[in-house]
Chain A
Amino acid sequence: MAEPLILLTVGLPWLGALLCWAAGDRHPRLQHTLAVSFSVAAGIAALLLIPFGYERPLVTLPIGGAFGDFTFSPDGLGVFLAAVATVIGSLAVIFSVDYMRGEAQLGRYYAFVLFFIGAMVGLVLTTNLLLMFVFWEITALTSYALISFHNDDPKAVAGGIKALIITQFGGLGLLIGALVLFAHTGSYDILAVIANPGLLPAGALAWMAFGCLAAAAAKSAQFPFQTWLPDAMEAPTPISALIHAATMVNAGVYLLARFFPAFEGVPGWREAVMAVGMLSALLAAVMAIVATDLKRVLAYSTVSQLGYMVYAVGAGGVFAAQFHLLSHSVFKALLFLGAGAVIHSVGTRDMRQMGGLGKKMPFVRLVFVIGALALAGLPVLNGFWSKELILEAGLEHGNPLWMLIVMLVVSGLTAFYTFRMVWLVFYGQQRAELHAHEAGTAMKVALAPLAFGTLTTWLLAGSFSRLLSESLPAHPISAHSTGEILLEVLTAPVTLIAVLVIGLGLAAWWQRDRLTGFAPALAGIGKAAANSFGFEAVNRAVVVVMEDSAEKLRSTQTGMLSWNVASLLVALIVVLAILALGVGLP
């Protein structure tokens, strides 16, 4: 029973992608209908798959020979992320019905969105590291194609290429990891190395561990690769919500969490992961305070919250990281889609021109404020519980205390920039003549479940921890009931401190007029933050070097067939020579 469900969850979006594309751009209604129905069907299939997470059946697709069979196994981590990808994916598609109405080339749009959803499901369900790498790159490719969807806009094209190059750069780390695994075990089986990291010599395991860390940092827009995500905000907003907030950027956190039992013992790995997470969380939070573009603020906050998750994995809190991933996916998708409704309505992303929009868009304001409160980490909403669990994990396992203190400060910064954002958009005086209207029906249909989820997903803590602990025997996760987890959070001293810090962040925003005395002192930091602390230059250098070398390699493309045949011949001779010299295959 699980086998067809797995194939359906991957296959339905891909089939839908083909059909949407084949339907042709002359039938936009048909395309909307096809996209919505296939993504919703995939979401249902993924939800039905969740109960199989406990049994972990192994589905094998024999492909014969060299690369090992393609295997899929739905365990707790996999089914949960597959459900997130397809359910939020279908909501983003529903939202797109309103948001993308009247746009040209819907076939291309929906085909890539659905292709992405299928690839994301495959990425989290497969247990073959090579296949995971393939899915990993498909998600990068679709992300690029969708960021650059408006391909007549040079900014969108540049943002897409930057995202593609940087995530590919990190993807090399995953490829190195996969090849190291294959070289030492003769297979790409992930489960084997997780169950027994001793399969690999310590040096090889370290290569794999740090390769995966590089891949995860690039994918999840973590330090020092954090600058591609804000530039990716040129994408249509449902794409930002789906790919750059709720799913693809989580792939890095997923990778770290998946391999945690194997890499845990690698010297320096956990510290490196925690440092990457902490730096990302801190730097991105500071950048979010000075940003004026609504979507860029959300992008920085995504980097910052992903930093929390990466930090949690490094700190040994795999459950806390995954629980925050769930919360974050829901409330950040809500915030992005809410921002999409605002942007669609007023036609600008500059928050300095907004203000007072709440009166004209009461529904959007309501759901946006719910999402913002969760992002700030205020009690009762899902972001509160998961963030507190992360901070608690930072206390355990002898983790450095100063890192925890930095993370606490970041939670205060988060509250500050979140309230700044909400205030600039929905409250205060209207600063420019903007024509605003309430969101459309399809938008509301997509926003309402997300708002409901933001209010309630923390109630799933108990069953979620049981799912993860039972299906991931190698991970340090113990099952607790929801009540136990909530009580644990409420009685932890860290929680009290965190709530105080968050309150301090809020107070700083309310009293911002009195704090103007500090402004000159902070201006330098603000300026550095606006320039991404110089890491923008590093990232841009990587992109420029790649583009330049590609341009230089162009001269090898003579376009002359004879040259191509000659090089084929040379390659053939080299292969024959190697075989003749007797370099045997293992």
Chain B
Amino acid sequence: MTISIPTTVIIMVLGLIGIGIYALLTTRHLLKVIVALQLLVKGAMLALVLAGRLTGQEDLGQSLAITVIIADTIVAVIGMALAVQVRRVIGTLDLRSLTSLRR
């Protein structure tokens, strides 16, 4: 039995997104949230490349993927910078104690 390349990629996409969402749902650590977001977005990026490939618009899919990489990097950098500040100001990275914005 042979598995085609698109099927492999789809499995990878679903796997990455699944792991990302699972981690987002369960983790309570801010840095792990950032890691989980990275996994999630990488899955979405891969899906973009695949979609471009399957519809014959490879250039569009890949340029979108590059855009996502840039945006994602910025999110990660700012997220980590915020995490550092949160650790300094509040003294913890536990998400349960980060609800002070609510009121």
Contacts and interface: CB of A to CB of B under 8 A. Distances in A.
Contacts of A562: 24-26, 28, 95
Interface stretch (A104-112, A443-451, A552-560): A552-560
Contacts of A565: 21, 24-25
B33 interface: yes
B102 A566 contact: no
A560 B99 CA distance: 7
Most buried by A among B25, B26, B95, B101: B25
A569 B98 CA distance: 22
Contacts of A569: 21, 25
A425 B101 CA distance: 49
A558 B24 CA distance: 16
Contact of A559 (B21, B24, B101): B101
A557 B102 CA distance: 7
Contacts, number: 25
A558 B25 contact: no
A566 B26 CA distance: 10
B96 interface: yes
Interface string A53-67: 000000000000000
A94 B100 CA distance: 43
A580 interface: no
A484 to B, nearest CB: 61
A560 B26 CA distance: 11
A567 to B, nearest CB: 11
B87 to A, nearest CB: 16
Interface in A531-570: 557-562, 565-566, 569
**Range class of the A interface residue count:** under 10
Nearest to A566: B25
Given A565-B21, A569-B21, A558 B99 contact: yes
A559 B25 contact: no
A559 B26 contact: no
Interface in B27-67: 28, 33
A561 B24 contact: yes
A566 B22 CA distance: 9
B102 to A, nearest CB: 4
Contacts of A559: 98-102
B98 to A, nearest CB: 7
Contacts of A566: 25
B17 to A, nearest CB: 9
Nearest to A572: B21
Interface in B9-26: 21, 24-26
Interface string B79-98: 00000000000000001101
Contacts of A558: 99, 102
Nearest to B28: A562
A561 B102 CA distance: 12
B101 to A, nearest CB: 6
B69 to A, nearest CB: 22
A565 B33 CA distance: 11
Contacts of B21: 565, 569
A557 B103 CA distance: 10
A560 B102 CA distance: 10
Nearest to A557: B102
Nearest to A561: B95
A167 B33 CA distance: 40
A561 B27 CA distance: 9
Nearest to A562: B25
Contacts of B99: 558-560
A560 B96 contact: yes
Contacts of B98: 559
8 contacts: A557-B102, A558-B102, A559-B101, A560-B95, A562-B25, A562-B28, A562-B95, A566-B25
Interface of B: 21, 24-26, 28, 33, 95-96, 98-102
Which A-B residue pairs are the 7 nearest by beta carbons? A559-B99, A559-B102, A565-B24, A562-B25, A561-B95, A565-B25, A569-B21
Given A559-B99, A565-B24, A565-B25, 8 more contacts: A558-B99, A560-B95, A560-B99, A561-B24, A561-B33, A565-B21, A566-B25, A569-B21
